[in-house]
Amino acid sequence: MKRILVYLSLMFILVGCSNENGDNSTKEVDITKAFVEENAEVGLTYSEVRERFGTELLADVVDNTETWLYDSTQYSGFEYDKSLEVVSFDEIKSGNLEYQLYINFIEEEAFMYSYFYLGEDGKVWQYQIIPNSDPLNIPVSL
């Protein structure tokens, strides 16, 4: 009887600690403007950025600055030309992309965040966080 109780206890512990999807995958982060406002900080390290924002979609050095790209497509299977040098304004404006987030690093620390999204006015907006300045939220396309 004692063994049965031990086995049942272990089973309840294992079931209670298991991932409800039955796998070890991590949940994707929903990167909204509010999420960026709350989580983006100048000075975060690579690992801290990944903890908050997840794994970057694209990363490379552009103009001597390491840049990471995050995005969210509106439709499953939608493909577009991803670039660290050019924002996909047309894809955001058309609704194919929900956002693009560019994070720039200097000496392995984040120093600039640029979040591009479609505003309620139909324009593409940029929410930007840079050192020694209040965040900016400006329209960048018609």
Structural domain boundaries of the chain?
28-139
pLDDT at residue 9, as a whole number: 41
Q: Which residue has the higher pLDDT, 4 or 95?
A: 95
Average pLDDT score over residue span 1-6: 40
pLDDT at residue 41, as a whole number: 97
CA 73 to chain centre: 12
Q: Examine the pLDDT at 7 and tell me if it is beyond 60.
A: no
pLDDT at residue 18, as a whole number: 36
Percentage of residues of the chain with pLDDT beyond 90: 69
Average pLDDT score over residue span 88-92: 95
Percentage of residues of the chain with pLDDT beyond 70: 80
Reported confidence tier of residue 12, pLDDT bands at 50, 70, 90? very low
What are 83's two structure tokens? 């670039």
Average pLDDT score over residue span 43-72: 94
